[in-house]
């Protein structure tokens, strides 16, 4: 317990500088690393001689030598980033240990200077080491990324299909991370004593060999406590939000506002903990380093430092030093903000288009029916979407064990019905007994899971245009053929599009009936997707849609659908880009926004102009 208290004391002594360093450094990293990684991924796709990255091309991508060469470069860059961060924190904790104040700019410069020592071949090993200790030093960042970042479906499917190998690799990585605790002080020796990495490893092993399990236990406790505090805060704030909303908003609006509020709470807490967790963990590591090593050997280090200071031609006064540090910090902060603004502007915002008029030709696709106001993929959601003027109704299709095609998004039935089982492993007779509505609202208690045939029959009677999304699974039998047969039986060839994330299923469908329009769904856009031969359109996540991409797809004579968009600002941005269909959870609101889009066109245009410049 004493170690934890002393670690917190070290952290608090230079708390403002440490937190500002983490903020500034992560801003710079986001501005540089994100576009760098995106560029490398695109380059790796091109060098692998494939036009796009999806389920059917993933194997060829992984077989290409260039993929691993570029992956190695990415790992080197990420390692350098981590080394700068950790080195800076070690210097900050060293200053706190000696009760000396240290500025943000000094932490940053010392971190960079120490990281650049990897130019020496004798220090190359440190690059792999910082990657292996990631689970120990950055558990909050890793857990937050896993829970907040949506993985592309084709990658999820690849992991699912190779789960045994993936689990083995994860286990090996965890074992290496645990073994690396023997070297946990190597970065302290490497940074503070200026020894090469081989010598730093030896010193660390000698220091910790009698205290390995105690150190490992201490690190586990640190990580568990920090993540537990984050989890409890999320739960407490979510509970408080629910209590407040229950008193001030209607039951109908509660679900949507609560979900948005919880997302904001989780994001804010994640950002706070992302700049505090790693410094806290390194405060503990450095505190244990001082307890086990003492101050032995620091005399030589201090002599070198003193001689270097004496060689300076002019000593800076304390006031001059603070002033220079402040100016340098502001320059770095301004650079970080500028780079981030440029990146967000070019890669995300799509606000370069200053067109005056909004396009109102776009169709509105109801996502899983009117899923904001009725339980998804039910006849109730389809009927309500039709009543609320949706131009297209999107439905998800899966196959039961006995070959019946039903409307269901998830492979597992538990989220919407409470039954823990996979669609493809149970017969339709079981599905008929399940309640697919009460999870949404008591009003819809007893709402059944509809079949594709029921949806097509109702659609034919009410002139509904469907976007039928294929959800193939390993249990399917003649799945695509069965879907095509029903489409043909109900004369729906011209009144639907068939979409899927599985490109192979669309190829199979086109080979059966080339007149059915197909749309491939992409979670990310990598490579030249317009070259995909067997599709008539693309359904792309909204944050990857740019004016250039829309223009390129339209030049190919194909359509672009965008998912899933609910806010007025995003809808209007997409109208400016002239997309063909907006997929939304709230079709009535989206239709209303499109219908009234040009009523406030002048003020909207001025606002976009301000945002632009």
- pLDDT tens by residue, 338-349: 555 555 554 444
367 catalytic residue (yes or no): yes
pLDDT at 437: 93
Integer-rounded Cα Rg, in Å, for the chain is 29
Question: pLDDT for 460-477, tens place per residue?
Answer: 999 999 999 999 998 999
- Provide the token pair at 337: 């903000």
- The verdict on residue 609 lying in a domain is no
409 catalytic residue (yes or no): yes
User: Residue 11 belongs to what domain range?
Assistant: 2-117+210-337
d(CA 143, CA 417): 28
- The verdict on residue 153 lying in a domain is no
pLDDT beyond 70 at 491: yes
Last residue of a domain, one of 302, 337, 372: 337
d(CA 415, CA 396): 15
Same domain, residue pair 367 and 328: no
Question: pLDDT for 293-320, tens place per residue?
Answer: 654 344 544 554 455 455 444 445 556 6
Same domain, residue pair 295 and 382: no
Same domain, residue pair 442 and 529: yes
Kindly give the residue spans of alpha helices, DSSP state H, lying in 180-276: 186-192, 197-208, 212-248, 251-274
On whether the CB atoms of residues 388 and 610 are closer than 8 A, the answer is: no
Question: pLDDT for 507-519, tens place per residue?
Answer: 999 999 999 999 9
**E strand segments, 385-492:** 392-399, 405-407, 466-470
Same domain, residue pair 263 and 404: no
DSSP tag of 348: I
- The verdict on residue 50 lying in a domain is yes
Same domain, residue pair 326 and 382: no
Closest C-alpha among 278, 275, 273 to residue 231: 273
Last residue of a domain, one of 293, 320, 337: 337
d(CA 55, CA 502): 6
Same domain, residue pair 8 and 57: yes
- The verdict on residue 100 lying in a domain is yes
Same domain, residue pair 549 and 590: yes
Lowest mean pLDDT among 71-85, 337-351, 452-466, 479-493: 337-351
Question: pLDDT for 419-429, tens place per residue?
Answer: 999 999 999 99
On whether the CB atoms of residues 88 and 21 are closer than 8 A, the answer is: yes
Q: What is the mean pLDDT of residues 268-272?
A: 85
Distances (CA, A) of 556 to 68, 362, 553: 32, 18, 5
pLDDT at 267: 80
Over 73-84, what HEC string results? HHHHHHHHHHHH
Same domain, residue pair 428 and 528: yes
Of 97, 367, 542, 554, the catalytic one is 367
d(CA 337, CA 347): 15
Q: Which long-range contacts (CB under 8 A, 24 or more apart) does 595-602 make?
A: 595/360, 597/358, 597/360, 597/572, 598/357, 598/358, 598/360, 601/356, 601/357, 601/358
Tally the domains of the chain: 2
Same domain, residue pair 255 and 316: yes
Mean pLDDT estimate for the chain: 81
pLDDT beyond 50 at 351: no
Question: pLDDT for 536-583, tens place per residue?
Answer: 999 998 878 887 788 888 888 899 999 989 888 788 888 888 889 999
Distances (CA, A) of 145 to 41, 266, 274: 19, 12, 10
Same domain, residue pair 333 and 385: no
DSSP tag of 182: G
pLDDT beyond 80 at 604: no
DSSP tag of 544: G
- The verdict on residue 134 lying in a domain is no
**Percent of the chain residues past pLDDT 70, beyond the cut:** 79
- The verdict on residue 575 lying in a domain is yes
Last residue of a domain, one of 272, 303, 337: 337
Same domain, residue pair 427 and 566: yes
- The verdict on residue 500 lying in a domain is yes
**Cβ neighbourhood burial of 425 (10 Å; 0-12, 13-18, 19+):** middle
DSSP tag of 558: -
d(CA 382, CA 145): 34
On whether the CB atoms of residues 528 and 545 are closer than 8 A, the answer is: no
Same domain, residue pair 297 and 375: no
- The verdict on residue 530 lying in a domain is yes
pLDDT beyond 50 at 354: no
Q: ∠ CA 92-96-102 to the nearest 5 degrees?
A: 55
């Amino acid at each position: 317990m004493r170690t934890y208290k002393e670690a917190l004391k070290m952290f608090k002594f230079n708390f403002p500088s440490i937190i500002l360093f983490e903020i500034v450094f992560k801003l710079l990293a986001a501005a540089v690393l994100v576009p760098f990684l995106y560029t490398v991924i695109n380059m790796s796709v091109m060098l692998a001689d494939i036009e796009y990255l999806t389920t059917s091309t993933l194997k060829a991508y992984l077989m290409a030598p260039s993929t691993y060469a570029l992956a190695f470069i990415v790992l080197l860059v990420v390692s350098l980033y981590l080394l700068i961060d950790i080195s800076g924190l070690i210097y900050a904790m060293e200053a706190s240990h000696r009760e000396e104040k240290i500025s943000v700019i000094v932490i940053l410069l010392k971190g960079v200077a120490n990281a650049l020592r990897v130019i020496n071949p004798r220090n190359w090993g440190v690059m792999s080491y910082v990657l292996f200790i990631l689970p120990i030093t950055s558990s909050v960042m890793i857990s937050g990324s896993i829970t907040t970042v949506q993985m592309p479906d084709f990658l999820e499917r690849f992991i699912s299909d190779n789960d045994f190998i993936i689990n083995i690799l994860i286990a090996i990585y965890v074992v290496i991370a645990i073994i690396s605790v023997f070297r946990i002080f190597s970065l302290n020796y490497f940074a503070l004593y200026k020894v090469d990495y081989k010598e730093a490893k030896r010193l660390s092993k000698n220091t910790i060999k009698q205290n390995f399990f105690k150190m490992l236990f201490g690190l586990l406790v640190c990580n568990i406590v920090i993540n537990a505090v984050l989890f409890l805060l999320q739960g407490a704030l979510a509970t408080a939000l629910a209590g407040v909303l229950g008193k001030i908003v209607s039951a109908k609006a509660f679900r949507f506002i609560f979900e948005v509020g919880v997302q904001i709470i989780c994001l804010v807490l994640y950002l706070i903990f992302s700049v505090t967790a790693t410094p806290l963990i390194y405060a503990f590591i450095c505190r244990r380093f001082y307890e086990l090593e003492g101050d032995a050997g620091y005399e030589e280090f201090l002599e070198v430092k003193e001689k270097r200071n004496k060689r300076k031609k002019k000593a800076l006064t304390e006031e001059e030093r603070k002033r220079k540090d402040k100016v340098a910090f502001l320059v770095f902060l301004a650079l970080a903000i500028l780079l981030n603004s440029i990146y967000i502007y070019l890669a995300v915002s799509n606000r370069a288009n200053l067109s005056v008029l909004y396009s109102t030709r776009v169709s509105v696709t109801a996502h899983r029916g009117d899923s904001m106001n009725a339980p998804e993929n039910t006849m109730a959601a389809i009927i309500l979407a039709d009543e609320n003027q949706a131009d297209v109704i999107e439905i998800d299709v899966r196959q039961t064990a006995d070959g019946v095609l039903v409307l269901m998004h998830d492979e597992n039935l538990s989220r919407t019905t409470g039954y823990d089982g996979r669609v493809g492993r149970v017969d339709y007779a079981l599905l008929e007994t399940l309640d697919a509505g009460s999870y949404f609202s008591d009003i819809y208690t007893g709402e059944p899971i509809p079949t594709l045939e029921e949806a097509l029959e109702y659609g034919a009677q009410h002139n509904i245009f469907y976007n039928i999304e294929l959800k193939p699974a390993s249990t399917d039998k003649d799945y695509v053929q069965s879907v095509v047969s029903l489409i043909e039986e109900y004369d729906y060839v011209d009144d639907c599009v068939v979409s899927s994330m599985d490109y192979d299923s669309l190829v199979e469908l086109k080979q059966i009936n080339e007149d059915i329009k197909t749309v491939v769904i992409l979670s990310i856009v990598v490579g030249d997707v317009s070259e995909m031969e067997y599709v008539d359109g693309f359904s792309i996540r909204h944050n990857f849609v740019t004016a250039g991409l829309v223009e390129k797809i339209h030049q190919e004579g194909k359509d672009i659908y965008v998912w899933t968009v609910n806010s007025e600002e995003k809808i209007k941005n997409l109208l400016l880009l002239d997309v063909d269909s907006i997929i939304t959870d709230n079709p009535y609101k989206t239709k209303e926004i499109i219908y009234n889009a040009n009523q406030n066109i002048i003020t909207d245009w001025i606002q976009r102009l301000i945002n632009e410049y």
